[in-house]
Amino acid sequence: MSYKVAVVGATGNVGREMLSVLAERAFPASEVVALASTLKVKALDYYDFKGTDICLMSAGGAVSKAWSPRIAEAGAIVIDNSSTWRMDRKVPLIVPEVNPDALDAGIPKGIVANPNCSTAQLVVALKPLHEAATIKRLVVSTYQSVSGAGKEAMDELFRQTRAVFVADPIEAKLFTKQIAFNVIPHIDAFLDSGYTKEEWKMMVEVQKILDPDIQMTVTCVRVPVFIGHSEAVTAEFEKPITAGEARALLREAPGVLVVDKHEDGGYITPVEAAGEDAAYVSRIRKDPTVEHGLALWVVSDNLRKGAALNAVQIAECLVNRNLLRKAV
Ligand SMILES: NC(=O)c1ccc[n+]([C@@H]2O[C@H](COP(=O)([O-])OP(=O)(O)OC[C@H]3O[C@@H](n4cnc5c(N)ncnc54)[C@H](OP(=O)(O)O)[C@@H]3O)[C@@H](O)[C@H]2O)c1
């Protein structure tokens, strides 16, 4: 059987990558319709979703809030990339390597959520370690690329970098401070707790996907990298687990590639992860400050595993598990 797939936000960073990933993985699509706000592609406002099986949605939270229920009502399953539906109890939040079975509890709203980009790569790397030794507490610091904030954010880094070299004035429009040759410890809105919404999202999404009992503290930082998010992770476990055991488990884990030679260059950086599918794990070592602890470094392409690839993998799960409405 083949399916009619709509991609909403098709001109954006994630949407363009979704179109590539659908083609690369030979997703069984009879038709792929590209939708955005402009007439270069089909205009969302005038599109009739009747007959669409799957809608890959990456046009931001406001568009998703208004459109996802309507599209689901027309009969499609919406796989949404925004944060709008992720913590809704009636919406499964899925990373196919980690919790695909959560789909079997049903998709009552016709919407499945994709996690935040930094969450997806983290849970792929942590799942095998959690299964083996039960994570009690996590401390995560992120180093997030500008593409995570959309195509205009990439342009801002480019413009500012150029301006530094030609001694033009630096204009900061999207980011609150200069991003070129700088790092900014602030992503998304500030909450009353002092954490940012990006940090809160990682904490609650890890709990929803992996285990509600995991305690977490997170610092999310924007860095002047175009593509690829990095994360320094320290995990405290209930049971003993050595760095060697973790390395062996991660080598077998789906979606993970271990590059961990303890020597110059024996680790992965975002430039090498860009365009790739894996969550790369490097720098695996013992955290000697707790009884059972490990430290590691996780890097992945935020537009792929963090968004487009994960969404297409969810679509594949829906097909394989006969969860599309057409197949019911
Ligand atoms: N970038 C990441 O790493 C990442 C990871 C996970 C989740 N996400 C989420 O994915 C979504 C998209 O992110 P992005 O990075 O791709 O953003 P982006 O590069 O800014 O692209 C936004 C897309 O949304 C479309 N759009 C905006 N308003 C629209 C409207 N009223 N009707 C129809 N289409 C509209 C734009 O179309 P036009 O060009 O026609 O305006 C464009 O295609 C966001 O919710 C983001 O939080 C992003």
Mean per-residue pLDDT, 23-47: 88
**Distance between Cα 17 and ligand 1 center (Å):** 11
Active site annotation includes 186: no
**Distance between Cα 86 and ligand 1 center (Å):** 16
Over its C-alpha atoms, the chain yields an Rg (Å, rounded) of 20
pLDDT digits (tens, 9 = 90+) for 96-118: 999 999 999 999 999 999 999 99
- Has this prediction a pTM greater than 0.85? yes
Instruction: Please identify which of the residues 117, 130, 220, 292 carries the catalytic annotation.
Output: 117
**Residue 240 — φ and ψ, nearest 5°?**
-65, 145
Instruction: Please identify which of the residues 55, 130, 229, 292 carries the catalytic annotation.
Output: 229
CA atoms of 146 and 121, how far apart (whole Å): 17
pLDDT of residue 328: 37
CA atoms of 61 and 73, how far apart (whole Å): 18
pLDDT of residue 327: 38
pLDDT at 326 over 60: no
pLDDT at 258 over 50: yes
Q: Mutation test of ligand 1: which of 7, 14, 55 has the most ligand atoms closer than 8 Å to its C-beta?
A: 14
CA atoms of 25 and 269, how far apart (whole Å): 25
Averaged pLDDT score across all residues of the chain: 96
Active site annotation includes 292: no
pLDDT of residue 42: 75
Q: In this prediction, what percent of the chain has a pLDDT beyond 90?
A: 95
> What residue ranges line ligand 1, CB within 6 angstroms?
9-15, 36-38, 44, 58-61, 63, 81-82, 116-117, 147-148, 150-151, 302-303, 306-307
**Residue 185 — φ and ψ, nearest 5°?**
-85, 55
Please name the residue whose Cα sits nearest to atom 29 of ligand 1: 37
pLDDT digits (tens, 9 = 90+) for 43-102: 788 899 999 999 999 999 999 999 999 999 999 999 999 999 999 999 999 999 999 999
pLDDT at 18 over 70: yes
Residue 276's pLDDT band (boundaries 50, 70, 90)?
Answer: very high
CA atoms of 138 and 235, how far apart (whole Å): 5
Sign of CA dihedral 72, 74, 75, 78: negative
